Amino acid sequence: MSTFEGSLRIPGDEGPPLAVMIDLVDGRLLMSAGESEIGNWAMSEIRVNALPDGFHLRAEGEEVLLDITDDAQFAVDLGLRTAPPHLRRRMSALMRND
């Protein structure tokens, strides 16, 4: 199981981001804020794209923007193959060290 800290925003919303924890376990992405579960999705049910402003997660017809503290490890653990150049370099370094 991999656990990541980050923040969640709604694209276009100017309010403060929400602190979240994301667990990747058994082919699922579980997201929580404090004691509240935000989502629990099979990886096949979501789409995650790494873009310059963060990770765009689409699930159940909605999109959220995630800023993950350990973004390179998060991208590697998700199995992402495309990312902005600065993130791709850090992902490559992680994969070389493994």
pLDDT beyond 90 at 72: yes
The predicted structure's pLDDT at residue 14: 87
The predicted structure's pLDDT at residue 12: 86
1-11 pLDDT, tens digit per residue, is 799 999 999 98
In the predicted model, what is the mean pLDDT of residues 11-26?
94
What is the pTM for the complete model shown? 0.92
pLDDT beyond 80 at 17: yes
pLDDT beyond 80 at 70: yes
Buried b (16+ CB within 10 A) or exposed e, 38-57: ebeeeeeeeebebeeebbeb
